[in-house]
Chains A and B, each alone.
Chain A
Amino acid sequence: MSRTAHRLIGPEEPLWAPHHPEADPVSMHTLGFWLYMMSDALIFAALFAAYAVLDHPYNAAGGPQIRDVVHPAGAFIQTIILFTSVFTYSLSMVGLKAGNRAFVIGGLLAAVVFGAAFLGLELRDFARLFAEGATPDRSGLLSIFFVLVAAHGVHMVFGILWMLVMMVQVAVKGFTTAVVTRLLNLRIFWMFQASIWVCIFVFVYLNGAYR
């Protein structure tokens, strides 16, 4: 028997918690997803750090400088389109509150269309740069420019894929706990991608063009 450094449990105190409610699945998944987003944020933090290191005329290795490759006007249009996509996603959340399946699916569809338009513009931008000979293997600076922007683009692709899956699930399953949880987490994911784009727009496109 160990020496007691603590009080003893009285006879009237409950020892067991039968039917103790399990943790609410929605809040548990939301916390888990926020933690996942934190790890994702660190991926981008590391990429931005790498950009800060490699964003130097020296790292252009005699090739194009950052101001030669970024076009903030085009990126501004992309920004507007992406924000519209986030806005339509938020509208579908209004539909979720009303429990209206068609409303939710419509909002998601609009978000997918605008997201795809964003990606289309990005790909067109990349194609133009490739045609000009500004490819990722030209210099360290272009490497990080392409990889940083493409890392965001890959996230967008997975977000769109996720939305397509959710449109089917809303149609087939309706608003089950799992489906609602996924819709709420996808909202976090989608808004996060928009905030990352804001950082890319400011630090890469604006800062790059007007320096």
Chain B
Amino acid sequence: MLVHLQGAWTPWLGRLTLSQIPYNSPIVLGAFVFALLMAVPIVALFTYYRRWGYLIREWITTLDHKKIGVMYIIIGLVMLLRGFIDGVMIRTQQLLADGPRSAAHLQAVHGYLPPFHFDQIYSSHGTIMIIFAVTVVLTGFQNIIVPLQIGARDMAFPYLNAVSLWLTAAGAALVMISLFVGDFSHAGWVGIIPLTELPYSPGVGVDYWDWALQLSSLGTTLGALNLITTIVMMRAPGMRWFRMPFFTWATLSTQTIGLTAFPVLGVALALLSCDRYLGTHFYTAGLGGNLMLYTDLFWIWGHPEVYFIILPAWGIMSEVIPTFSEKALFGYTVMVAATLSIAGLSWAVWLHHFFTMGAGPGVNLVFSVSTMLVGIPTGVKVFNWSLTLYRGRLRFETPMLWAIGALFLLLVGGLTGMMLAIPAINYTVHNSVFVVAHFHTMFLVSVFGIFAGLMYWFPKVFGFRLDEHSGRRFFTFFSLGTVFVFAAMYILGLMGMTRRLDYLYDPHWQPLLIIQEFGIFLYCVSVFYFCKMIYVSIRDRAKEAHGQDVWQTSRTLEWMTQTPVPFYNFAVIPVVHGRDAWAMRRDSGLTATSPDQYEDIHLPNNTIVPALLGGLAFGFGFGMVWRIWWLAGFSLLGIIGLVILRSFADDKGFTLKAAMVRRMERNHEDTGIMTDHISPPVAELMLFQ
């Protein structure tokens, strides 16, 4: 059954040999040095200040949804940087390798990247940006904000929440280690079939891609059921469905998509794994395989995934725009209906990714119409945001700048999407960079939404504002970079430039490629200002410290909690009287009121088990990639054993006495400082006491 592979294989190390470490490639070596330069100071600082214990007790073992969310966002931002560097390399290669006379550097015939390396870079760029950057950051936001917005003390399943995080981290770690040990997939982020089959990709690259996606999609599925249960079961008294903050509605739609779409990806990848490991013929070109089966299954997940990414960003815009327009969201009910119908339509449009498959005019027509239908609720949203802005008292602080930027991008991305929904147009521009420009515009709506959310909620989570000055420069350079790169890319697409080219044959594209590279330069400047913004904000955190409601006009319950939010969120669960609960309290002059009686608060203890499960999942993935069967087997048994062991543990949880809650809350009112240094103990440590 097991496929016989050519090449070296040993029982202890599987396919892993020393020659698999590409120390002779100057680019990989450079990346390794860069990673060391990032990692060594962090490790040194933690060791110098003796913070490892703190890191494990307060972060690695935590079940607090806010800390888990912060860790999601940190992973996502690190991956965003990695994906960005990949993007820079792609653009630079295409600039250098244009035309037969283009210069050759390093080991390449044109440009500086040999084709095999270039293919890995665009594959990892796509995989990282979609699965490990944007999805992960948005999941982080939903983790942090949703329980706060609905007036809950935690998620429905805090332990499962941590498991989701560490599974995602294991997937991200697999992608990162593929840079230094072996190689990554060269078959695009979609896994072009049958290129991903063993005869055409005998290396470990596709396996890395496969297992990284598989692990993180498992984490996402578990996270989805957790968030849905939280929203359904844990709302504060008085928070009826149509009083929920809009971001919560967006999360509910998003996670419904996640719950139903990600299992299909799991199947698509599992069948591919069967082909690669067991020699079955699901997607092979011969012996009864069906290539389009993979493409269909992949996009049955892939298109809902697109909305999985965009809906939370729209949720963020729907929180930011009302806050900085100083009025309620226009057409709340219609907005909810629009979000739900986009979620519903997301399952009915997948075939538009391959109109050229030749399914016939009937099939193409159905999917063309269903794709155009998406434009209706999306248009409704654009009008609702515009009408929220209309006659509002607009304040252009950084979150608002990003939200407005996203609104403009959505127009461009949405209208080009409508063009692509027409099969006749789609046939002519299929596989061109016009398509690439379109979906980058849409993903950038998400990215703009992410930065809006980052600026908007950062003070809530950390207690101080991000530096406005460098934040504006970050926004300016990022937006200009977007214009230069993608305006040129749209034109290049219409000029006939196709995707994924390591060598461009037409020298007439040179001017536009130079414009794109200039845009990339502007992006690089914006990264500098992002780092400066973080640095300046942390340096001046005392000056920029703020109370519970930093923007003064925010509307939802998360702004009612103390800042930074204590681990129990709400000392006493608030009663909700209507939509925009916090705005109602503010207008009624009730912001300063505190509860007259406190209660004992009961929360689960911290535990190391989720992190161990993540580590074992990584071991399983790594073992499967390199076919080190003992490692994969022991990791799998370890996971099963650990889950069973944990099910026998009786976690009594951690109780914070009412008097202590009162002291923490009142102390905060007097001094403005939240004593956040009380958090639940680690359950496993208590065994040894």
Q: Chain A residues in contact with chain B, CB under 8 A? A: 1-9, 13-20, 22-23, 27-29, 31-32, 35-36, 38-40, 42-43, 45-47, 49-50, 53-54, 58-61, 63, 135-141, 143-144, 146-147, 161, 165, 169, 172-173, 176, 178, 182
- Chain A residues closer than 8 Å to B282, beta-carbon distance: 50, 54, 140, 143-144, 147
Give a binary string over B600-637; 1 marks a CB under 8 Å from any A CB, 0 the rest: 00100000000000000000000000000000000000
Q: Return the chain B residue nearest A130 by Cβ.
A: B1
B502 at interface by CB-CB < 8 Å: no
Q: Are B580 and A28 in contact (CB under 8 A)?
A: no
- Chain A residues closer than 8 Å to B210, beta-carbon distance: none
Q: Are A141 and B288 in contact (CB under 8 A)?
A: yes
Interface range on chain B: under 10, 10 to 19, 20 to 34, or 35 or more? 35 or more
- Chain B residues closer than 8 Å to A49, beta-carbon distance: 297
CA distance A46 to B217 in the complex (A): 16
Q: Are B287 and A61 in contact (CB under 8 A)?
A: yes
- Near A by CB (< 8 A), chain B positions 561-586 give 572-575, 577-580, 583-586
CA distance A100 to B8 in the complex (A): 58
Q: A31-B229, A40-B263 are in contact. Are A54 and B156 (CB under 8 A)?
A: no
CA distance A16 to B577 in the complex (A): 11
- The residue that A8 contacts in the complex, of B224, B266, B587, B597, with Cβ under 8 A, is B587
Q: A2-B327, A53-B290 are in contact. Are A143 and B274 (CB under 8 A)?
A: yes
Q: Are B278 and A2 in contact (CB under 8 A)?
A: no
Smallest CB–CB gap between A31 and chain B, Å? 5
B114 at interface by CB-CB < 8 Å: no
Q: Are A46 and B268 in contact (CB under 8 A)?
A: yes
Q: A39-B221, A140-B287 are in contact. Are A16 and B575 (CB under 8 A)?
A: yes
Given contacts A35-B259, A40-B263, A63-B288, 19 further A-B contacts (CB under 8 A): A1-B587, A2-B583, A5-B327, A6-B584, A6-B587, A9-B590, A15-B595, A17-B575, A36-B225, A39-B221, A39-B262, A43-B264, A46-B268, A50-B297, A135-B1, A136-B274, A140-B282, A140-B287, A143-B289
Q: Are A32 and B593 in contact (CB under 8 A)?
A: no
Give a binary string over B148-172; 1 marks a CB under 8 Å from any A CB, 0 the rest: 0000000011001000000000000
Interface centre among B274, B287, B648 (most CB of A within 10 A): B287
Q: Return the chain B residue nearest A41 by Cβ.
A: B263
Stretch at the interface among B80-88, B231-239, B535-543: B231-239
Q: Are B263 and A42 in contact (CB under 8 A)?
A: yes
Question: From DSSP, what is the main secondary structure of chain A's interface residues?
Answer: helix
B6 at interface by CB-CB < 8 Å: no
Q: Are A137 and B281 in contact (CB under 8 A)?
A: yes
Q: Are B300 and A46 in contact (CB under 8 A)?
A: yes
Q: Return the chain B residue nearest A46 by Cβ.
A: B267
- The residue that A46 contacts in the complex, of B259, B297, B580, B583, with Cβ under 8 A, is B297
B37 at interface by CB-CB < 8 Å: no
Q: Are B326 and A2 in contact (CB under 8 A)?
A: yes
- Chain A residues closer than 8 Å to B160, beta-carbon distance: 32
